[in-house]
Structure 1
Amino acid sequence: MLKRTILWYMTFWGFAMNYMLRMNLNIAIVSMVKTIPKHVNLTKFSQCYISKEVPNNEFLNSTFLVINMNSVQKENTFEWDENQQNIVLGAFYWLHIIMQIPGGILSQKYSAKTIYGFSNGFVAFLTCFIPLSAYFKYRALVLIRIIQGFVAGAAWPAMYALTGKWIPPNERSHFMSAYLGCSFGTAMTYVTCGYISSFLGWEMIFYITGALGILWFLFWTLLVHDSPGEHPSIGKEERLYIEKSLGRSSGKTQIHPTPWKSIVFSVPLIVNIISQIGVSWGMYTLSIQAPSYFSFVLGLNLKQVGIWTGVPHLFSWLFSLVCGFVCDYLIKNKVLSTTNVRKLACMLCNLAQGLFILGLAYSGCNHVLAIVNLVLAVAMVGAASSGQFAGIVDLAPNYAGILQGLVGIVSMGITSISPIIVGLLTYQRQTIEQWQQVFMLSAAFCWITGLIYVLFGKSEMQSWNNKTNKQEIKPMI
């Protein structure tokens, strides 16, 4: 098996673990808190009242995602109010953006493999201590979540740096579908953790996911290396192919001063960042707010909400695979230029996503239509792996980790205000009309940022990528 194929599988499972370890508490907390707030029974307050379960539909009414409410009342332990619960859930993201640029710099300068592996491995290790910390002291649990988020912030830029060293330009669309392992991990977390908690107790959610993360770390350490030139068992033909396609010679990549001025004022990079803000805003709004919308407005019960907010992420992952193969085919066969392929993918992950978000806004009380639009909107995000995500590596593979660090800080910083805006629009006004404003705003973000990329985006390697070491690279013989 090709070593870059092994890298794809390890990257896919790495991102799946990364998101499983950050999302597991979202499900476990349902079983952890002792008192369920009165407003959990949302259906009778819903504008679109659903008086009873949909008959003869075992899948829609399955209990595998959310534990039976009666058993929750009996088995839960902690008396945390809503503010405390939100603090625990949000603590992961408080320091998350801090490691974006440092993670990229460390990955370019030292070892991207080590940074990515340690980021996931250490988070998995701390996950095993979440039950103990929760029983010991509430603040201890919050502290662990803060540390987990801080360390996990280095994962994405590190993987971009490793991609720049391993993956030829005409294979990046397919390879970066591995990044959508995060969608697979999210979906699997919602699907499996309900079962685990129901049969084994909420503590086992953290022991099992933590153990899986540590197991992944061991395989990552054994199977992955920083570059083809450093891999001890890579075939000569594969190594020469990768190095020639990237314009590099064997051995460790030489480190040169980072061209910060060129990076900061790079118009293609700025356009890419703008487009990723739109993708992130749409996806972030749907991931965080869809459960509230389905509960407060459409009146779906917790079982249905759990399923229909998890399933769309599976479609996003599958769609990323399809887009990856199609886009690489278009590039390899010179049907379209790399830039136009990235723009085509952007039209899907920005413009099409915005269209389906608008469809969600105008679905009214038709919960089936709302679910269809949600699934399609989230699925479209899978095209980002072949679009803007791959476009970052196209611009400067030598500095891909640093570029992704900048993208992460800006896009995550801006999209983090999304919940605040949603709160202002819907506070004590859980109506279809107010939520239409939420979704229309998200659709507008997707469309405007997508159009900017379609009009001005580029995916050509920038001159400053090799500016400092152009004379040191020996041509392949």
Structure 2
Amino acid sequence: MFLKKTTDGENEPILQNDDSKPLLPVRYIIVFFCFMANTFSYGMRINWSIAILAMVSKKKFHQSNSSTEVLLGGNETLVFDWDMKTQQLILGSFYYGYTLTPFLGGWLVGKVGSFRVLLTGLLLSSLMMLLTPISAKISVVLVILTRVIDGIGQGVVFPSTYSIISKWSKLNERSTFISISTSGYNIGSIVSSYVSAWLCSSYFLGGWPSTFYGAGICGIILSFGWFIIGSNDATSNRWISNYERKLILSYGIEDTQSENIDIYQVPWKSILTSAPVWSLCVCNIGFDYGYYFLSTDVPIFFKTILGFQIKTTGLLSVLPQSAMFITMIFGGVLADNLILSGTLRIITIRKLFGFLGLGFSSIILVSLGYFINDVTLVVTMMVGVFAMYGFFIPGIDANTMDIAPNHSALLIGIMFSISSLTGFIAPAVLGALTNRTNTIFQWREVFWIVAGIQLFGLVAFLIFGSGEEQDWSKAHKKSNTDIALLEIPSTNSKEAN
């Protein structure tokens, strides 16, 4: 990373004056890269939901005396005779690779550093995007394999960015930085939904293959940029000024350059037997089941039930994610202000936001299945469901900082690994219910199932959730290890906000 040493062996910043306040702090650039990593990561995931509509859409035209099937919008690309079950198997296979890797990503961060883990995950996903059109033309098995490997690559991205932000921010910046980074999921969905729909309906590179080529190339470009500017932490970065480095370290964790990781310092038994931890896991299962299901299958609902064209479907898919992006940022700011003001107890704020995220969204989700004749109202209600989801992040996910500030990233990894199982369960349930007849009656059943799972997770958190730091987290002593650097300070501290 353009390393340069001074005569005494100390690091010297390359672009910034040693002791002056930088015009553009490097930590802002790092946060931007984390945001873009999540944007491209989720964008690569969502483009499949749009592309598969074009990959199985056919129209007949007669040329000479033969009948040829071509892609809607393209004229040289093959389309595939995949039934609903096969489509849902392909969409869900991503999560076979994604399920364990958030947890393993947190472990790898401790072993080789978050810089390398993030770079490897981005490159792996980008390569799978480039290989998708080729594998699709060969066999369904190869398509599923690329999806699984893509899931493995993307699974390590979030814990990597979580670790990077925890080491690149002052205590009173971390909530904001994490919100910005996580919002990349929504922006990725918004951009990918629109661009993928446009590319699939175009003649460029044969239609749907272009969306995979574009995503893969953009991911590789981002990886190159991260290779140039990124690092595990502020102390090892070659672009940061001493002023900014000292500023970060004065608020952060000391000695961030340890190479040896003692993973056995993690209190595994206490974590795995903690009721608040499991309440978070169950609550995240409820959220991820609904969010992954709707993010993946809303385009199918818009097309098959509401009868929208692919371009319209892509545009309408932007609205729910836009609403969630707005409420996520607004919810984060609101939660921090409520905590700082002392108006409500922390656990009360978390549970209130949890109810908005899962309880209120469930009511809306079930209701929209009974207003199918009013298309505008149905779309509005779907947007409302995602808007409520935006409160979940500052409500439930932020609770990991309350109960275990020294292990919050590890908890996030565990929660994501468990809840990611819903990524292939939800599409399988939809495929089983709609494979023979795809009507609003089947979708109503699906909406009831999603709402029931969400409410079960909410009840678990309302009963067992805690806003107090757990004893096993307090007992943990900081050590010079990267696993300790995964911690995020407790939101009980006003300085942390």
TM-score, normalization: structure 1?
Answer: 0.81
- Paired with 1:214 and 1:464, the residues of 2 have a C-alpha distance of 41
Match of 2:107 among 105, 108, 116: 105
Matched, 1:437 2:440: no
Q: After superposition, what is the alpha-carbon deviation per residue over 1:208-266, rounded to whole angstroms, capped at 9, x for unaligned? A: 221211111122233333233334454566555655555x3233257432221121112
Matched, 1:222 2:222: no
Matched, 1:149 2:172: no
Aligned to 2:82: 81
Aligned to 2:489: none
Q: Using the TM superposition, give the Cα deviation of residue 188 of structure 1 relative to its aligned residue in structure 2, in angstroms.
A: 1.0
Partner amino acid for 1:311? L
- Paired with 2:437 and 2:54, the residues of 1 have a C-alpha distance of 29
Aligned to 2:44: 21
How has the CA–CA distance of structure 1 residues 429 and 78 changed in structure 2, closer, same or farther, with 3 Å as cutoff?
closer
Q: Using the TM superposition, give the Cα deviation of residue 430 of structure 1 relative to its aligned residue in structure 2, in angstroms.
A: 4.2
Matched, 1:346 2:378: no
- Paired with 1:71 and 1:451, the residues of 2 have a C-alpha distance of 46
Matched, 1:405 2:413: yes
Task: For 1:46-125, list aligned pairs within 5 A.
Answer: 71-72=72-73, 74-82=75-83, 85-125=87-127
Aligned to 1:184: 187
Q: Which moved more, 1:163-172 or 1:372-381?
A: 163-172
- Paired with 2:357 and 2:282, the residues of 1 have a C-alpha distance of 13
Partner amino acid for 2:34? T
Match of 2:214 among 208, 212, 227: 208
Indicate if the aligned counterparts of 1:173 and 1:323 stay in contact, CA closer than 8 A: no
Q: Using the TM superposition, give the Cα deviation of residue 278 of structure 1 relative to its aligned residue in structure 2, in angstroms.
A: 1.7
Partner amino acid for 2:385? A
Q: After superposition, what is the alpha-carbon deviation per residue over 1:40-89, rounded to whole angstroms, capped at 9, x for unaligned? A: xxxxxxxxxxxxxxxxxxxxxxxxxxxxx985474432444336555544
Task: For 1:320-359, list aligned pairs within 5 A.
Answer: 320-359=328-367
Aligned to 2:132: 130
Indicate if the aligned counterparts of 1:277 and 1:415 stay in contact, CA closer than 8 A: no
Task: For 1:365-376, list aligned pairs within 5 A.
Answer: 365-376=373-384
- Paired with 2:76 and 2:282, the residues of 1 have a C-alpha distance of 47
Q: Which moved more, 1:456-465 or 1:215-224?
A: 456-465
- Paired with 1:89 and 1:391, the residues of 2 have a C-alpha distance of 30
- Paired with 1:419 and 1:367, the residues of 2 have a C-alpha distance of 24
- Paired with 1:170 and 1:416, the residues of 2 have a C-alpha distance of 38
Match of 1:305 among 292, 302, 313: 313
Indicate if the aligned counterparts of 1:273 and 1:410 stay in contact, CA closer than 8 A: yes
How has the CA–CA distance of structure 1 residues 29 and 260 changed in structure 2, closer, same or farther, with 3 Å as cutoff?
same
- Paired with 1:415 and 1:34, the residues of 2 have a C-alpha distance of 24
How has the CA–CA distance of structure 1 residues 387 and 230 changed in structure 2, closer, same or farther, with 3 Å as cutoff?
farther
Indicate if the aligned counterparts of 1:294 and 1:300 stay in contact, CA closer than 8 A: yes
Percent identity, aligned pairs only, is 26
Indicate if the aligned counterparts of 2:43 and 2:192 stay in contact, CA closer than 8 A: yes
Q: Using the TM superposition, give the Cα deviation of residue 369 of structure 1 relative to its aligned residue in structure 2, in angstroms.
A: 0.9
Partner amino acid for 2:190? A
Partner amino acid for 2:256? G
Q: After superposition, what is the alpha-carbon deviation per residue over 1:123-179, rounded to whole angstroms, capped at 9, x for unaligned? A: 113322333444566544443332222222222233333344344565444222221
Indicate if the aligned counterparts of 1:103 and 1:401 stay in contact, CA closer than 8 A: no
Matched, 1:251 2:256: yes
How has the CA–CA distance of structure 1 residues 162 and 6 changed in structure 2, closer, same or farther, with 3 Å as cutoff?
same
Q: Which consecutive residues of structure 1, in runs of 5 or more, have no partner in the other structure?
A: 38-68
Q: Which moved more, 1:337-346 or 1:28-37?
A: 28-37
User: Going by fraction, where is helix more abundant, 1 or 2?
Assistant: 1
- Paired with 1:472 and 1:281, the residues of 2 have a C-alpha distance of 37
Q: Which consecutive residues of structure 2, in runs of 5 or more, have no partner in the other structure?
A: 1-23, 61-69, 482-497
- Paired with 1:471 and 1:111, the residues of 2 have a C-alpha distance of 16
Q: Using the TM superposition, give the Cα deviation of residue 354 of structure 1 relative to its aligned residue in structure 2, in angstroms.
A: 1.7
Aligned to 1:193: 196
